[in-house]
Structure 1
Amino acid sequence: MKHYELLTILKPTLEAEELASKVEFIKELLQKNEAEIKHTNEIGIKNLAYEIDKNNRGYYVVVYFQAPGASIKEIERILGIDEQVLRFLTIKYESKKDISFWDKLSTPKKEIVKGEAKVEPVAKSATETPVEAKVEENV
């Protein structure tokens, strides 16, 4: 199984429920095509570099997944037919450096235990002045 990233730009005119169902549709599409989803990142509405189908903005969704190479063609075919999808881009990760990125996605972040104290930096007050270094003069 190879590592992939799928960036999808959806129409910004969709309601919140429609956006949620479209994101779920994309996840189900990947799973039906033997993909194993590692991470999903819903970026939200962003301005487009140029107008697409009379839209200046789009709802961005990024899905990181592993899948056999043969299933990508079918995934892209179905996304190309969908009228709610403005654009999509599939990126295949091949180098060891890129694949090491996947280990970071699949590793859960350490949660803070209730008993642990958080270390916060102490802010300097606006009235403090820096201490000047003393210079000794030899006479």
Structure 2
Amino acid sequence: MRNYENLVIVKPTLTAEEIQANISAIEEIITSNGGEIAARDAMGMRKLAYPLGKNERGYFHVIYYSVDPSAISEIERRFRINEELLRFVTIKYDTNREVTAWNQLVQKAQKKATQPAGEAKVEEVVIPAALEEDEEE
């Protein structure tokens, strides 16, 4: 089994329930073809670089998964049939370096999913000692 990433862009005209149903259907397509979903990353509604049809925005969702390479053609065929998807891209992670990057992306997505939505990441600002001395003078 190889590691893959799919970025799908769903139509913005759908309701939240319809978007979630489409994402669930996409995940079902992957699992029904023998795939194992490692992580998901809902990137939310974003402005597109250029209009796709009459749509200037889209709901972006990334799915990281492992599946047998022979199943990719069927997964992509089913994606093409789905009229609610504006675009999708499948990225294959093949070499050791790419697999390491895929693992890091999966960990990052899992960490993002477990972090509460309202909790913002607070970073401590460190002032170098040289600047502190200048301020005292």
**Superposition TM-score tier, normalisation by shorter sequence:** 0.7 to 0.9
Q: CA deviation at 1:123?
A: 7.5
- Counterpart residue number, 2:75: 75
Q: Do the aligned residues in 1 keep the contact of 2:46 with 2:57 (CA within 8 Å)? A: yes
Q: Please identify which structure carries the higher helix content.
A: 2
Based on CA coordinates, which of the two structures has the bigger radius of gyration? 1
Q: TM-score with structure 1 length normalisation?
A: 0.76
Q: Do the aligned residues in 2 keep the contact of 1:6 with 1:64 (CA within 8 Å)? A: yes
Stretches (4+) displaced over 6 A: none
Residues 28 and 122 of structure 1, relative CA distance in 2, 3 Å threshold: closer
- Counterpart residue number, 1:55: 55
Identity of aligned residues (%): 39
Q: CA deviation at 1:106?
A: 5.2
Q: CA deviation at 1:102?
A: 3.5
Q: Give the unaligned 5+ runs of structure 2.
A: 115-122
Secondary structure of 1:83's partner? coil
Secondary structure of 1:63's partner? strand
Q: Do the aligned residues in 1 keep the contact of 2:9 with 2:58 (CA within 8 Å)? A: yes
Q: CA RMSD in A?
A: 2.3
- Counterpart residue number, 1:130: 132
Q: CA deviation at 1:53?
A: 1.8
